[in-house]
């Protein structure tokens, strides 16, 4: 599995919609620009 995180916050705050634009909850960056796809580490040992 994988999920999106903000590349500016380096954390997983997620996103929300303000005034019709989806932005990062953490820093307010435009989500379309800020999001990066992060692969979940499933290599549990």
Which residues are at the interface with Zn ion (CB under 5 A)? 6, 8-9, 24, 26-27, 29
29/22 Cα distance (integer angstroms): 9
The residue among 12 and 40 lying less far from Zn ion, judged by its C-beta, is 12
User: Who's near 1: CB < 8 A, 6+ residues apart?
Assistant: 40, 42
User: In angstroms, what is the minimal distance from the CB of 43 to Zn ion?
Assistant: 27
> In this structure, how many other beta carbons lie within 10 angstroms of the beta carbon of residue 15?
20
User: In angstroms, what is the minimal distance from the CB of 38 to Zn ion?
Assistant: 13
The residue among 27 and 45 lying less far from Zn ion, judged by its C-beta, is 27
């Amino acid at each position: 599995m994988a999920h999106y995180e903000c590349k500016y916050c380096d954390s997983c705050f997620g996103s929300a919609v303000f005034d019709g634009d989806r932005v990062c909850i953490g820093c307010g960056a435009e989500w379309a620009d800020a999001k990066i796809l992060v692969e979940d580490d499933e290599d549990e040992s």
